């Protein structure tokens, strides 16, 4: 009897199902641990906020770097994430990396002379 014949498809599928279940449990446990100390962000759709960046574009952090960037407009707020408009691209940011901005932004419209 070959080694591959010893493992029937039913045994393999049972093992894969157990692995998927264990991965899902581990992911939920990790999410609960991470979200335990989530700051409750009092920002709604359309409000402006700042985003905390841990590193600069070059991959290093200078002690004089601006770590809070923005203000960015909140497009959608769902616990524990916020969808923000960053340079006309939507980014999903965890609430721990966001804070409310008191800065009011005037959106500029560009007029092209023809």
Residue pair 101/70 in contact by the 8 Å Cβ criterion: yes
| Cis peptide preceding 97, ω within 30 of 0 | no
Domain ranges of the chain: 9-38, 47-100
Residue-wise pLDDT tens digits, 21-54: 999 999 999 988 887 877 677 778 888 989 988 8
Residue-wise pLDDT tens digits, 59-80: 777 888 888 998 999 999 888 8
Question: Dihedral through CA 30, CA 36, CA 37, CA 38, nearest 10?
Answer: 90
Domain at 47-100, CATH from 2.30.30, 1.10.3470, 3.40.1130, 3.40.50: 2.30.30
């Amino acid at each position: 009897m070959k080694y591959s014949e010893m493992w029937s498809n039913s045994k393999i599928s049972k093992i894969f199902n157990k692995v998927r279940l264990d991965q899902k449990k581990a992911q939920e446990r990790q999410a609960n641990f991470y979200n335990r100390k989530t700051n409750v962000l009092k920002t709604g759709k359309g409000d402006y906020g700042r985003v905390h960046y841990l590193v600069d574009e070059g991959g290093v952090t200078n002690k004089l770097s601006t770590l809070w960037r923005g203000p960015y407009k909140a497009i959608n707020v769902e616990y524990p994430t916020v969808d923000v408009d960053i340079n006309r691209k939507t980014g999903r940011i965890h609430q721990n990396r966001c804070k409310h901005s008191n800065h009011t932004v005037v959106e500029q419209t560009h007029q092209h002379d023809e």
